[in-house]
Homo-oligomer: A and B are copies of this chain.
């Protein structure tokens, strides 16, 4: 059900066609919601049948015509009604963590390589989110932005995404470190009976 209201929420930022909405999903809410274009088209049709959005066909030259949707007053009311309801708590759902959980079975080089790959992907995402944040702030300091801007929802949620990606990177780095130390133990079997200094707990 949330897809419906996420669409309405994204339409708050301005009218859009299905195609444009799909792209806007990838910037504004990519960070905590994801939807494929194939999901959006039928959902927009349903929303229009229910009167929550209205559409007009925009005739274009040199490219296909498009159907542009606006949130209606009923749509705003429906969104508000949904906003007032309590949310169910989130949890991570992550294949990669399943792999690390059982990873002691796995050849270490493969796991290490996957850690590097995963970390690199999160670094790319972090970079994208940080550029987005800079675009929102437009050089203003955060404190001022948060005090004066009319809508702060997009910034607040973007910040959650930034935190999440930073934590992913930090965790991958930590796990790489832990595993590297464990390999050293095995590949240099003798020569280290020395009790190492407490070693940092990376947090």
Binding site for B on A (CB under 8 A): 2, 5-6, 8-9, 12, 28-34, 76, 79-80, 83-84, 86-107, 110, 114, 117-118, 121-122, 125, 138, 141-143, 146-154, 156-157, 159-161, 163-164, 167-168, 170-171, 174-175, 178, 181-182, 185, 196, 198-201, 203
Contact = CB atoms under 8 A, between A and B. Distances in A.
A154 B84 CA distance: 38
Chain A interface SS verdict (over half):
helix
List 5 A-B pairs, minimum CB-CB distance, nearest first: A87-B96, A32-B97, A9-B102, A143-B199, A90-B94
Contacts of A106: 80, 83-84
A30 B91 contact: yes
A171 B78 CA distance: 27
A89 B122 contact: yes
Given A91-B31, A152-B104, A83 B97 contact: no
B199 A105 contact: no
Nearest to A163: B167
B199 A178 contact: no
A115 to B, nearest CB: 10
A97 B88 CA distance: 11
